[in-house]
Amino acid sequence: MTARPSRQCCYDSLKWIPVIFILALVTWSYYAYVVQMCILTIDSVPKKGKEFQIVNIIFYWYRGTMIYLCIYHPLLILFLWSYYRTMFQPTVGPPKEFYISDIEGQQIKSAQTIDERRAILVRISRQANLSLLTRHFDGSIRYCFVCQCIKPDRAHHCSICEKCVLRYDHHCPWTNSCVSYGNYKFFVLFLCWAWIFCTYVAATSLEYFIQFWKIVSNIEKNGDNIVPSSGKFHLFFVFFVSIMFGISISSLFFYHLYLTGKNRTTIESFRAPIFESGPQKEGFNLGWKRNFQEIFGTKFFKAIIPIPTTGDGVHYQVNSILLGGLEQPTTNPIRSNDNDNNIISPFIRSDADILPFE
């Protein structure tokens, strides 16, 4: 009985290794940049005589510490703040009205045909007055057999978190969290500030990187056995690491900027959401400005810091040009009437095509 919880605890602990690696790297880079580059390199100030030494040191301190660090620390704080919010923002699942009873769940599991399953889901959705625009690939209401709930629009089941998540994008091992409705803004800001932070560190440490190579070149040229100090190796590697991570993060950051501008999740970019009229990749595209406002809000200051500014994760506006008059009301979304087109799409596939969950 205790073997499984022990294995699960071990597995949960291993998932934090990428996070620990990132935090260890940031800690080391802080030492390399602040201590080695901005403080200890004061010893390298040229000595032009006693009367100029104090002036040179003050000038170097102001240029190398006051200016560099006054920019470095705000960027570091915004980066770590966004990273923290991405990791520890609670994952938001479907509201309680989307979950069904055990009896209804058993009825769905025991349904013999797609039509029977569809009819049960239609009845449950109408009784609960649920807002639903997207469909399963067979045209029926999207349902999760694992969580025993009807999936809200853009929600998906995360196999790692083992639950359904609103506006699911992907599960990120570097944050050990589900990137979804609750923390998507924080995730994009984390990428943004991480990229800016790495770019800034690389740009400001470039001159020390060049100095390091000049020293190495002179040693090789003169045939000396002198080894550069450890501090210079720190400066060399902080430049190299910041360039490497800056390039890696930039590809992911600009890709998610593209997805935000199109109002898509990573899943929707590979598998278009299905509406009553069929698959439509641009179904939630409201124009780049409104798409960004849906994630970051309308206020610039609030948009660039990791604080919540978005809606409820259940109701979404759709592209009225592509989807006609299809619109999801914010209240009283589905009314009971005799027209089943409010609930399901007319196109059907065979029984072999239906999946228990997606």
Q: Which two structure tokens, joined as six digits, stand for 209? A: 């990187």
End-to-end Cα distance, the chain: 31
Contact between 300 and 289 under an 8 Å Cβ cutoff? The reply is no
Please give the Cα distance from 228 to 233 (Å, whole number): 7
- Beta strand residue intervals within 238-318, DSSP E: 274-275, 278-279
Contact 344, 140 (CB under 8 A): yes
User: 240 with 33: CB under 8 angstroms?
Assistant: no
Report strand pairing: 156-158 vs 149-150: unpaired
The CA-atom distances, in angstroms, between 234 and each of 205, 239, 242, 352 are: 11, 9, 12, 60
Tokens linked to 141 = 């209401």
What gap in Å lies between CA 313 and CA 227, rounded to an integer? 58
Question: Is the alpha carbon torsion for 65, 67, 70, 72 positive or negative?
Answer: negative
Measured distance CA(125)–CA(117) in Å, rounded? 12
Q: Strand pairing partners for 171?
A: 178
Residue type, 199: T
Listing DSSP states for 155-182 in one string gives: -EEETTTTEEETT--EEETTTTEEESTT
Burial of residue 326, with CB atoms counted within 10 A of its CB: 0-12 exposed, 13-18 middle, 19 or more buried: middle
Is 158 tagged catalytic?
no
Report how far residue 149's alpha carbon sits from residue 132's, in angstroms, rounded to the nearest whole number: 13
> CA dist 301 to 166, 253, 309, 316, Å?
26, 20, 11, 24
- Catalytic residue selected from 164, 172, 178, 192: 172
SS3 171: strand
List residues with catalytic annotation.
172
